[in-house]
A = this chain, B = another copy of it.
Amino acid sequence: MFDVLHKHITSKVSLTPQEWEFITTQCIPKKIRKKQYLLQAGDKAEFFTFVNKGCLRSYTVDDAGEEHVVQFAIEGWWIGDLSAFLTNEHASYNIDALEDTEVLMMERDAQERIIERVPMYERYLRLLLQGNYVAMHRRLVSAISTTAEEKYLRMQKQYPDIMQRVPQHMIASYLGLKPETLSRIRKKIASDK
């Protein structure tokens, strides 16, 4: 049940068995069926979520009613509206399941309890935030300064596992492209070989 999380944390920091035991007491396991919401825009963002199995996606809806995928998360990823979680505000994203999914939910208070009891946990969170920050920055530079094809190739290289399991039109959305455009790019790449 907690294997994936244990592996993830101990790949970054060391824990004593007691510390790990405590962390597990703070997680709320939950199963989510495909298409079900985990979080909706406007909800209080009371928790952050670790994916044990399955696949989730977060997205915003703009004024024109268009969905924009913000993030995908598969096994071993955290997902949530980080800025809302940190600032204790209402979520501006929706999160839903693209497959039947098992997650561990951690409430804000639970995070704080862990930080108090497990000194290395704060470092783990900082590393997580940093990694997130760096990845987002790369994505921003790519979004601003490359063509659609380059964006697609870059994503394929960086997240090959995700490409294989999420619908193509959501990848298009993540990249800021129209589904038709992505379809044509794929065709072109295939024929280039």
Contact = CB atoms under 8 A, between A and B. Distances in A.
Interface of A: 60, 62, 66, 68, 70, 82-83, 86-87, 129-130, 132-134, 136-137, 139-141, 143-145, 175-176
A73 to B, nearest CB: 16
Q: Enumerate the 10 nearest inter-chain pairs by beta-carbon distance, A residue then B residue, closest first.
A: A144-B176, A83-B134, A143-B143, A140-B140, A86-B130, A68-B145, A143-B144, A145-B176, A136-B136, A68-B141
Given A136-B136, A140-B140, A140-B143, 10 more contacts: A60-B141, A68-B144, A68-B145, A83-B134, A86-B130, A129-B133, A133-B133, A136-B140, A139-B140, A143-B144
A62 B82 CA distance: 30
B134 A176 contact: no
Q: How many copies does the complex hold?
A: 2
A92 to B, nearest CB: 9
Nearest to A143: B143
Contacts of A66: 145
